[in-house]
């Protein structure tokens, strides 16, 4: 399964980066191949200063070795080895009219001292972070997510949408990071879902990513915007940074397992503002966004 899934994300990385380069029309992804001293490595691809995308990364990795002490304590195990692979992406567009997007699809195995698999699971999801709320964009993104889920289980979308709203919650701000999407983790074999079934589900979600995001980019990338709107985008990006550094499990896992810092922190936007006690004007489009972030809603 680990070889099968890693082969899938290699191909998916090629597909996504090629399409995003086509949409941008100016910049291309720079590639870095790297190795982890403890075992494994990855292929990082970053795009910067494009016509559409200010900064973005589409990374794949596979790491393995002894489970670090901090992770043993987290999982409640003693001596154990692990294997983890996944694709993680974050795209920060230049225009505040185009939303930031994040996605991740991953697979994990844990082994006993004899090298036998004692646990394995899939995880992942995709979520949208707009700076200005276009409700038709939110409905489109969630409709694609629901379609991918419904092909496997009609309970998946409402369940994983709810988990996404709960996970991407900036508790210290009492607001959501964005308008959500899907979040699923610890997807293990059961009586009704074997690991092959989970593979089919996760890859269907991965394959749906471009359909969910690219039409929104094409619809919004040429809209005019003001410097004031750009400033609002940078303020909201600050909240994005706060979530990633304070709450995000993927970031924390990478830091605790001696992950590659450049790849872990590529999710951070290039230009950010923190204004003291900032509040948008009453009745403004900025306030409209905050109203939704403070009370996640159903989009489909």
Q: Which position has the token pair 């001292």? A: 113
102 is annotated as an active-site residue: yes
Q: Which position has the token pair 């996970």? A: 167
CB 256 within 8 A of CB 65: no
CA–CA gap between residue 173 and residue 243 (Å, rounded): 10
Distances (CA, A) of 156 to 102, 159, 162: 19, 5, 10
Could you write out the DSSP letters of every residue in 98-117?
SPEEEEEEEEEEEE-TTS-E
Region label for 195, one of left (φ > 0), alpha (ψ between -120 and 50) or beta (otherwise): alpha
200 membership: H or E segment, kind and range: helix 195-207
Catalytic residue among 92, 102, 140, 142: 102
* Rg of the chain on CA atoms, in Å: 19
**Which residues belong to the active site?**
102
């Amino acid at each position: 399964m680990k070889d099968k899934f890693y082969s899938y994300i290699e191909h998916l990385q090629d597909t996504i980066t090629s399409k995003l380069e086509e949409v941008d029309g100016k910049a291309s992804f720079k590639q870095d191949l790297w190795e982890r001293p403890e075992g494994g490595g990855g292929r990082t691809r970053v795009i910067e200063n494009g016509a559409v995308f200010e900064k973005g990364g589409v990374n794949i990795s596979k790491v393995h070795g002894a489970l670090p002490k901090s992770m043993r304590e987290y999982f409640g195990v003693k001596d154990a080895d692990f294997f983890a692979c996944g694709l993680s992406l974050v795209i920060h567009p230049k225009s505040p009219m185009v939303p930031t997007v994040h996605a991740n699809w991953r697979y994990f195995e844990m082994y006993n001292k004899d090298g036998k698999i004692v646990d394995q699971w899939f995880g992942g999801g995709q979520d949208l972070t707009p700076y200005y709320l276009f409700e038709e964009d939110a409905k489109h993104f969630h409709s694609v997510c629901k379609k991918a889920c419904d092909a496997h289980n009609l309970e998946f979308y409402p369940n994983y949408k709810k988990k996404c709203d709960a996970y991407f919650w900036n508790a210290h701000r009492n607001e959501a990071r964005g308008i959500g999407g899907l979040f699923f983790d610890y997807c293990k074999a059961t009586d009704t879902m074997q690991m092959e079934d989970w593979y089919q589900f996760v890859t269907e979600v991965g394959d749906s990513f471009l359909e969910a995001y690219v039409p929104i980019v094409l619809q919004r990338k040429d809209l005019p915007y003001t410097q004031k709107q750009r400033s609002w985008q940078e303020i909201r990006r600050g909240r994005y940074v706060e979530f990633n550094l304070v709450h995000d499990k993927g970031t924390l896992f990478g830091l605790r397992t001696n992950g590659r810092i450049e790849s872990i922190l590529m999710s951070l936007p290039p230009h950010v503002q923190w204004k003291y006690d900032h509040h948008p004007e009453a009745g403004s489009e900025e306030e409209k966004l905050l109203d939704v972030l403070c009370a996640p809603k159903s989009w489909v």
